[in-house]
Structure 1
């Protein structure tokens, strides 16, 4: 009989020891998979459109015994940003594009970090036994209406962090301080490709009584994304089609007037239809005025009337 009582005392002690184990001691841990790129794609032209994209973080947790586990996921400001509230992707020449990361599809709740004004995201594994995976979506947005951004690639590298603990009463994330992991880098990326538009104004030589030599000036307006290299060429016109022998015609008949278009005010450099004979420049994000210098040389008598030619201006970038 005394031997039986001894066995009972040992079993009671073992049960007491199991009851005193902390919850975290039952855990086998958590692992994380981060989709490496928040890809906002490529855009041409400014201002920026609103761009909405998503990426994911997958959390896999394992345990031997049934527990409740809270995992808290933090996203910092990133390498291109000043703060979580003002996330930025950095680009060429100190330019940046503003964007934000959210916890919800409506993009109203900013994804923040532990201890910040914007909270971390809590992922709860309830009654976890064995291994389970939960995938969380990160909602990204580039804001519309951003102007004067240089051509090139814009990036921000973020190092997400995760902490977890097991619980009976659900803890707020600021109280989850154990089991810190730094996750693989998440890169936010946007590419701005060059883009240009061009408009032209008429070039009028006025009304004359004799062709003794006349000059006039007009201009083209080119708007290109900052740092976009461009070349503007002018074709030979609708009358002669020859950049070296431009002509204006009186109506549908055979009568023409010779004239020429130049790149310089001295009227020595013909404005042609090749890169070597065009006008080059670099975009600023705003409209740039490019002068066109015209000249009608002295020539013999012509029938009165309106002489015209149509020139096509082409901008290559």
Structure 2
């Protein structure tokens, strides 16, 4: 069997570290093959489409790596109205999307009442669609309300599972323990939960990456977002080097082997650092893409990192372009809800 020798679930910390270091410059083709095989056993050649709606770039946090951090005075801030968001969903639904990912900075303008009303309205208008929220850390009470209103999934990247490293990337008022607690709460409430991390972020070591893998193994999230660190010119990490495609693809493959059923995006960030980055992500076991349904007028203002791709494409063009590329890479675009399969 192809996967023989690549059952990494029982590897120790030391063995995982050795495996990463052995593949740091060029990933062993057998490992990538094992990751593809593992993905195909779970989901075949399907690549699930999620329609991304970036509805606000206001944020109360000041993460050191992020372009929309609170203290960046150069950002053109925007907020979408309820009608704006519903129009994005309608456009996506007409194009065939059956999952909408509502993402924003941590913006207190959007109260629980606003969000509950929005979730109900989306579910009323598009009952065959899944709603994914990505709005950062909230209280358990808020999470419960969102779930009861009909939200299906929640994305909350952990960024790094090493507390000391987390503290180097975030201000004092942010703690890895809070992030971890939120992820476990979301899972307990009943959400399909997404975690994830940056690759080659400032100060990151191989030990940190091992900790990320072990944390994901323990949490068992339904989704894992893995993207390269890309600097933003208005942050303190402006002059740091971007993460590499090779390292990111290696981590995608290892997460696929560790969590065979996970839904793993080939991220926009991967496509930003390499014209064929998303294809390489798919070849390493990723099985989700997230084209942007946000109004083109606001897209470049949702700038978490520099040189983000696809900010000017209309949703329909974006869908056609990515679908074609997925087919060319030997995979099948899938516009269903694409739920996690146990």
Compute the TM-score of the two structures, normalised by the length of structure 1: 0.18
Find the structure with the greater CA-based Rg.
Answer: 1
Compute the TM-score of the two structures, normalised by the length of structure 2: 0.17
Structure number with the higher strand fraction is: 1
Q: Which has the higher contact order (CA 8 A, sep 6+)?
A: 2
